[in-house]
Structure 1
Amino acid sequence: MDFNLDSILSILSVYGLKLIGSILIFYIGKKVAKILTKFSRKAMDKAKLDVTISQFIGNVVYGALLVFIILAALSNLGVNTTSFIAVLGAAGLAVGLAFQGTLSNIGAGVLLVFFRPFNVGDFIDAAGVMGVVEEINLFSTLMKTGDNKQIIIPNSSIIGKNIINYSKKETRRVDFVFGIGYDDDLKLAKTTLQEIIDADERVLKDPASLVVVSELADSSVNFTVRAWVKSADYWGVYFDTIEKVKLTFDEKNISIPYPQMDIHQN
């Protein structure tokens, strides 16, 4: 009994202080990790970094600090952390390979947040989809189409292809092609198109609009009409101009050719 008690006291004298020290290292280290993580998030908020990316970086910082603290606590107990780190690295590699697609989406999400090819509220064409951006998170981008459907696109699909941002610039050019018959008055049609463009207050004076004959087609003489507008006015000007041209051409007896088929009987 004395031998067993002496053994227990001997073990406690050797490992007791180390155990208490490891507990203190873990407890105090965890508190310090939370403080440092909170400090880093505040710094990112002051830098006006996107909330999504600041949260992601904060979680990474806290996780890395926590791993370091656990290793320090184990090392204080006399545990060989070298083999532990090797096992942890192998496990991390296995997890990384298993979630390769997910990790690529996270990486792409970070790039989208940092480089800002588009923002929430922009109208874009990305990964073959057109719509308004509603949300950008670490895994995917949420877009709303013109007919009010929500589309969720993996970030890796967006970052690897061309991105067209229709909202990035303040102005856009509206392009039209209008055809008239060969027997119609060319000068009258050109003057009419210019008057329609000039009468629209949404069309900018600078850069100047353009109305030119661009093609002598098989069944029509085609005009190319180009007008600069504010990006927000693009579709309004586009649809209104097409309607106005049709109504005005009808009033002035300017024809708009359409395909016809002549059938002859012997």
Structure 2
Amino acid sequence: MDQQATDFIVATRSALSQASALAVQYSFSIVGAMLLLLVGWALSVLVRRWAHNGLLQVRGIDETLARFFANFIRYAVLLLVFIAVLGQFGVQTASIIAALGAAGLAIGLALQGTLQNIAAGIMLLVLRPFRVGEYIETGNISGTIQEVGLFATELRTPDGLYRLAPNSTLWNVPITNFSRESTRRFALTIGIGYEDDIDIAQNLMRELAERDPRVLADPPVSTFVSELADSAVVLTMWYWTSAADFWPTSRDMIKAAKLAFDENGISIPFPQVTYNSSAPLITSPPEKAKREKA
């Protein structure tokens, strides 16, 4: 009994000694990990703010893109801090990094379409083929840009509808931006009768454009015969306006041209076909045979 009691006391003292040693050891690790977390958290906030403000100073960097890269840098710093904290407790960080890499690969494969939209959104924000307030048109999408996000772009159609387009659908197709350039050219095309005076019609069209204050003097207005159609001589006039005046000017110019032509006796013919009644009637052999038989 005395020997067993002695062995129990010795084992208890050994266990308590080891527990106290482990408590002292891990207490320092815990305190160090907490300090590392606090310092890492504060450092990530400072780095995010510095990166955000720095990116905004770069020309062409959008607010959304600056916020995305700033948050990405912050989370990268927090990830490094987390790995360093695990290293305080003796965890093999190499295996953790390998596991995170494998998990990231699996997540990337699962979210391939989403990541494609993110990549397209970043490219759209960097290259800026369109901005908020500009009117664009692609093969299937048209509208005024309301917001450019990392996943999708919000548009408003001309008839007032809301449209959400994934960024990948805008990045992989040609885009026509109707608002990017400050000036635009309008081509007014009108057909007149073959019996009408071409010079008078061209002068009327030119005078209408030159009298309109919204039409730019440079480049100058130009008129020419663009086609000799079946029923009309097609006249075309080119003039330039600001992008904001393009649509109202074009509508007003079409109406004014019609009124001016009516006042000056210039006709705008409709398609017609002329038949010569004196020409012999040509029939196919079967029809001719039937007539002779009758």
Give the TM-score category using the shorter length: over 0.9
Are residues 1:128 and 2:140 paired?
Answer: yes
Query: Could you say what secondary structure the match of 1:152 adopts?
Result: strand
**Structure 1 CA distance for aligned equivalents of residues 274 and 234 of structure 2:** 23
Are residues 211 and 263 of structure 1, via their aligned partners in 2, closer, same or farther at CA, if it must alter by over 3 Å? closer
RMSD: 2.1
**Structure 1 CA distance for aligned equivalents of residues 139 and 229 of structure 2:** 35
CA contact (8 A) 2:230 2:271 kept: no
**Structure 1 CA distance for aligned equivalents of residues 202 and 143 of structure 2:** 35
**Structure 2 CA distance for aligned equivalents of residues 181 and 16 of structure 1:** 99
Are residues 46 and 214 of structure 1, via their aligned partners in 2, closer, same or farther at CA, if it must alter by over 3 Å? closer
Give the counterpart letter for 1:42 in structure 2: N
Tell me the equivalent position of 1:75. 87
Give a deviation string over 1:172-226, Cα, whole Å, max 9, x none: 1001211011122222222221222222111111111111111111111000111
Tell me the equivalent position of 2:245. 233
**Structure 2 CA distance for aligned equivalents of residues 198 and 34 of structure 1:** 60
Tell me the equivalent position of 2:33. 22
Are residues 57 and 127 of structure 1, via their aligned partners in 2, closer, same or farther at CA, if it must alter by over 3 Å? farther
Tell me the equivalent position of 2:117. 105
How many residues align? The count is 266
CA contact (8 A) 2:152 2:167 kept: yes
Tell me the equivalent position of 2:6. none
Deviation at 1:92, TM superposition (A): 0.5
Of stretches 114-123 and 220-229 in structure 1, the one that deviates more from structure 2 is 114-123
Alignment of 1:1-266 (within 5 A): 1-47=12-58, 49-260=61-272
Give the counterpart letter for 1:33 in structure 2: S
**Structure 2 CA distance for aligned equivalents of residues 162 and 9 of structure 1:** 70
Of stretches 184-193 and 168-177 in structure 1, the one that deviates more from structure 2 is 184-193
**Structure 2 CA distance for aligned equivalents of residues 210 and 116 of structure 1:** 34
**Structure 1 CA distance for aligned equivalents of residues 213 and 39 of structure 2:** 68
Of stretches 127-136 and 221-230 in structure 1, the one that deviates more from structure 2 is 127-136
Query: Could you say what secondary structure the match of 1:236 adopts?
Result: helix
Query: Could you say what secondary structure the match of 1:222 adopts?
Result: strand
**Aligned residues: percent identity?**
38
Deviation at 1:261, TM superposition (A): 6.0
Give the counterpart letter for 2:232 in structure 1: S
Of stretches 13-22 and 177-186 in structure 1, the one that deviates more from structure 2 is 13-22
Deviation at 1:47, TM superposition (A): 4.1
Query: Could you say what secondary structure the match of 1:133 adopts?
Result: strand
Gaps of 5+ in 1: none
CA contact (8 A) 1:127 1:158 kept: no
Of stretches 44-53 and 117-126 in structure 1, the one that deviates more from structure 2 is 44-53
Larger radius of gyration: 2
Query: Could you say what secondary structure the match of 1:87 adopts?
Result: helix
Of stretches 221-230 and 9-18 in structure 1, the one that deviates more from structure 2 is 9-18
